[in-house]
Chains A and B, each alone.
Chain A
Amino acid sequence: MDMRIWLKLAGLLCIFLACLTAGMELERTMKIRWKFLWEMHELFQILENEMIFRHTAVCDALRYAANGSKTCLQQVLLAAAESVEAGGGSAFEKIWEKALNDLVPKRLLKENEMQILYQAAASMCSSDTVMQRTLLNQNRDRFLQLAEEAGREYKEKGSLIRRLSAAVGAFLVILLI
């Protein structure tokens, strides 16, 4: 066969694969977002157990929670624990915000989810222990709700996006042929 046909076929294959990969990447981001929010929900459960019932220091509780994480939340928790231990004098809110900004990929979460994440700092460190317990419970429920929504979204849209991307790829290939 002519070299040009080979090149054309290779180009078409690339276009098809690119569409497929983009779709899979979108689906993967949705899955990570779901897992991240689910781990946040679990984090508050762990923090409540460790801090309230076992009186563990927040840095140790964050490290303990990081052990069970498989998303970028692990890095966030470890970075926050390190900064807390370093005792630089910053407010906890700032430490938490910095860890989130540095280590959570920009497009992983929606704006309102990021805002809830920033506000969650108040429940991890508070000078009012009664309020802290309430906030931990509230955040746990809030993140459960967010995780359930993200899970639903992933299940509903994930496979659709994958199929759609394959269809778009195929359409482009046909169009170009």
Chain B
Amino acid sequence: MKSNDNYLKLLPSGLRTLFASAHLNGDKLQEIRMRTGRTLLLCYDGCEYAVSGAGELLRQPEGGYCVSEKDVKETLEQLTGYSLYAYDQEMKQGFLTVAGGHRVGVAGKIVCEGEKIQCIRYISGLNIRLSHQKKGCARELLPYIISENDVFPTLIISPPGGGKTTMLRDLIRLISDGTENFSGKNVGVVDERSELAGSYHGEPQNDLGMRTDVLDCCPKAEGMMMLLRAMSPQVIAVDELGSERDRYAVKNVFYCGCRLLATAHGNSLEDVRRNPLLGEMAEAGMFGRYVLLNGRREPGTVRRILDGNGAVLFGKDEKQTACSD
């Protein structure tokens, strides 16, 4: 059962032993949640589990391994290579990206100066989100996204944990590398939270294709403008679009003839339309394709594909009215 236990390197020796005795398949392990004084929880194969001291997976948190302050401290040391200071800037955003492209969310006491976050102290919670590169998961999606060697501006929609970043990552790789019927494009990626490329010390840990340029830890709005000015991309990809700050840059991308690939949180097109920026973009017909994913139950799988007018191209038609009205 055991395979791909690279994730063990992220953990201190105590927890490493615990996880090794649980014989988990690293490919199915999605999240490790550690909260001081609470039960250690895992998101494994789409379900939540606790782990007993003997390494058994438990469906109920009772009897599960309780995380100590020392566990959190040592895990953080291990994740940062004993150099928390090196991650100072990332920590201010509440996360850090570690070798392998895994993202670690941190919770603790936020120290502010005015409205600006200075640092996080007394870290009491960690959420290790293991990065899984699922090469080929967007292959079936690709024919709906491209047309005559061009790419439709596409918005991938799913609730958190639905696999939209994984899907976007693979889509970028396919568009960048090209396929038998589709020649590769220059893709610019603005990776604000290091989730797409999983860059570690500036080097992408995930395969985003041979024609992809990555701006790591760069705010989306600034990054899109930088790419437009400097890298002449044919396609620009960003994760979690929707803030007001992105408005100017997004419009520039569209009016410069660049194609935008983006993701957004939501369950349906209706949800997206409630967002001021995305709603305006949908109204103006800026997106040529909407890809709705199945969500947490089947992360990374497509539920429906809609065209720019909301007409269903793939998937069940039953909720079409809810999505396109």
Q: How many angstroms between the C-alpha atoms of A58 and B111 in the bound complex?
A: 23
A90 CB–B CB distance under 8 Å = yes
Residue of A61, A84, A88, A132 near B84 (CB, 8 A) is A132
Residue of A55, A87, A127, A132 near B73 (CB, 8 A) is A127
A144 CB–B CB distance under 8 Å = no
A91 CB–B CB distance under 8 Å = yes
Q: Identify the stretch in B10-18, B156-164, B184-192 within 8 Å (CB) of chain A at 4 or more residues.
A: B10-18
Q: Identify the stretch in B45-53, B118-126, B239-247 within 8 Å (CB) of chain A at 4 or more residues.
A: B118-126
Q: Using a Cβ cutoff of 8 Å, how many contacts connect chains A and B?
A: 72
Which residues of B have CB within 8 Å of A128? 121-123
How big is the B interface, by class? Answer: 20 to 34
A126 CB–B CB distance under 8 Å = yes
Residue of B9, B14, B84 near A127 (CB, 8 A) is B84
Classify the secondary structure of B's interface with A: helix
B86 CB–A CB distance under 8 Å = yes
Residue of A58, A91, A132 near B12 (CB, 8 A) is A91
A9 CB–B CB distance under 8 Å = no
1/0 per position for A52-65, CB-CB distance to B under 8 A? 10011111010000
Say yes or no: B76 contacts A127, CB within 8 Å.
yes
Say yes or no: B77 contacts A56, CB within 8 Å.
no
Query: Chain B CB within 10 Å — which of A55, A87, A89, A131 has the most?
Result: A89
Interface residues of A (CB under 8 A from B): 51-52, 55-59, 61, 84-85, 87-92, 124-132
Supplied contacts A58-B83, A130-B121, 15 more A-B pairs, CB within 8 Å: A56-B86, A59-B81, A87-B9, A89-B13, A89-B78, A90-B13, A92-B77, A92-B82, A125-B77, A127-B73, A127-B123, A129-B84, A129-B91, A130-B119, A132-B84
